């Protein structure tokens, strides 16, 4: 099983962090109790700028039903960009894709986005479709795992994973909680497509991406309130506990050691790390749990600075960055993400 293509796509509206902060301060006005602390929050999340699905001045009047319609339209547009780019990188024809996994947690649609893209792009009408909602930030890594399971059963097939997360469409206009304030500084919009090939299919494919050696999912009981959404008539209201870094630091290292031990590996054998860009505290907690330095996670820090946290799409963009620089042949690698429940998903790769 091999990853043979990865490509990202973004909406056309981009704003630097200072402009976004100023827009929120102007919108909330006197309702924002401590503007200076809010500005410091924005400056300390490690983000230089983000992509938005709409011009910033259109967000103030946006409500849930309208935001979801924008999500559908933009998700299709980003899929139309990312999927052909990933297919071209893999060097295959679009008719060869036989399974389509779509993941998102920032909007809902029926028919789902994958169905709409089959029509738009003329993809095979015989493919297996698996739209997945609710996994949150972990879904990028989980989607790779599910695609790997599919091509393991069908080694002459190719599977497509598409993640689209338009996080700015979920920001609550009148929520001044710390969780929502953090969201306004951290989350952005974008999507990414990945092509996974079975063993026999990979032999015919020109691109030499990393082999998927193993995957591991871990669910942490009784952690539902650590991260997720409260969904109401106003849309998606973020649940983001300050316990997230503690949960990660206390669990992910042990998760990793269990996976590595099955292959007679240790952390010292891992030469490349691709981690979800949850934010500075999340990245540092993960680094602490795994016993690695910031330089080992260069692609994650770069992605965070360039585009913010894009939920499930983030780790796929870190993957794309890493594939462009391509570690030396034989390098062991870990791709990892965490998300609501709370849970982790690890993918062991070899270049």
Integer CA distances (angstroms), 323 to 120, 137, 243, in order: 28, 21, 33
Give me the active site residues, please.
137
CB 26 within 8 A of CB 194: no
CB 132 within 8 A of CB 102: yes
Helices (H), the chain: 17-28, 35-43, 64-90, 113-121, 139-153, 178-186, 199-203, 244-261, 280-290, 298-307, 312-325
Residue 130, Cβ neighbours under 10 Å: how many?
18
Can you tell me the distance from the alpha carbon of 200 to that of 298, in angstroms, rounded to the nearest whole number?
Answer: 33
**For the chain, first and last CA: distance in Å?**
12
192: its two tokens: 């990414």
3-class state of residue 238 by DSSP = strand
Q: List the one residue out of 157, 139, 58 whose CA is nearest residue 99.
A: 157
């Amino acid at each position: 099983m091999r990853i043979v293509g990865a490509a990202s796509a973004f909406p056309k509206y981009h704003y630097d962090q200072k402009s976004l902060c100023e827009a929120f301060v102007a919108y909330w006005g006197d309702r924002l109790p401590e503007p200076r602390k809010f500005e410091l929050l924005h400056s300390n999340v490690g983000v230089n700028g983000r992509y938005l699905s709409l011009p910033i001045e259109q967000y103030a009047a946006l409500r849930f039903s309208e935001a979801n319609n924008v999500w559908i339209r933009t998700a299709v547009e980003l899929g139309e960009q990312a999927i052909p780019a990933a297919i071209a990188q893999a060097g295959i024809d679009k008719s060869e894709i036989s399974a389509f996994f779509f993941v998102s947690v920032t909007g809902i649609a029926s028919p789902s986005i994958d169905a709409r893209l089959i029509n738009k792009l003329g993809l095979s009408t015989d493919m297996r479709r698996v739209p997945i909602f609710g996994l949150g930030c972990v879904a990028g890594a989980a989607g790779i795992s599910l695609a790997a399971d599919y091509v393991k059963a069908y080694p002459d097939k190719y599977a497509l994973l598409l993640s689209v997360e338009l996080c700015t469409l979920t920001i609550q206009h009148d929520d001044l909680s710390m969780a929502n304030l953090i969201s306004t500084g951290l989350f952005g919009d974008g999507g990414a497509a990945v092509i996974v090939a079975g063993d026999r299919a990979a032999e015919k494919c020109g691109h030499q991406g990393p082999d998927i050696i193993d995957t591991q999912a871990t669910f942490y009981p009784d952690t539902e309130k650590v991260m997720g959404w409260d969904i109401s008539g106003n849309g998606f209201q973020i649940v983001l506990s300050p316990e997230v870094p503690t949960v990660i630091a206390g669990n992910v290292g042990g998760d990793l050691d269990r996976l590595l031990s099955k292959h007679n590996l240790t952390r010292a054998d891992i030469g490349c790390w691709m981690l979800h860009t949850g934010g500075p505290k999340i990245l540092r907690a993960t680094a602490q749990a795994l016993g690695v330095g910031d330089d080992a996670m260069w692609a994650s820090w770069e992605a965070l600075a360039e585009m913010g946290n894009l939920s499930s799409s983030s780790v796929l963009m870190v993957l794309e960055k890493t594939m462009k620089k391509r570690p030396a042949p034989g390098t062991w690698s870990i791709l990892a993400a965490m998300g609501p429940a709370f849970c982790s998903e690890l993918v062991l790769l070899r270049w």
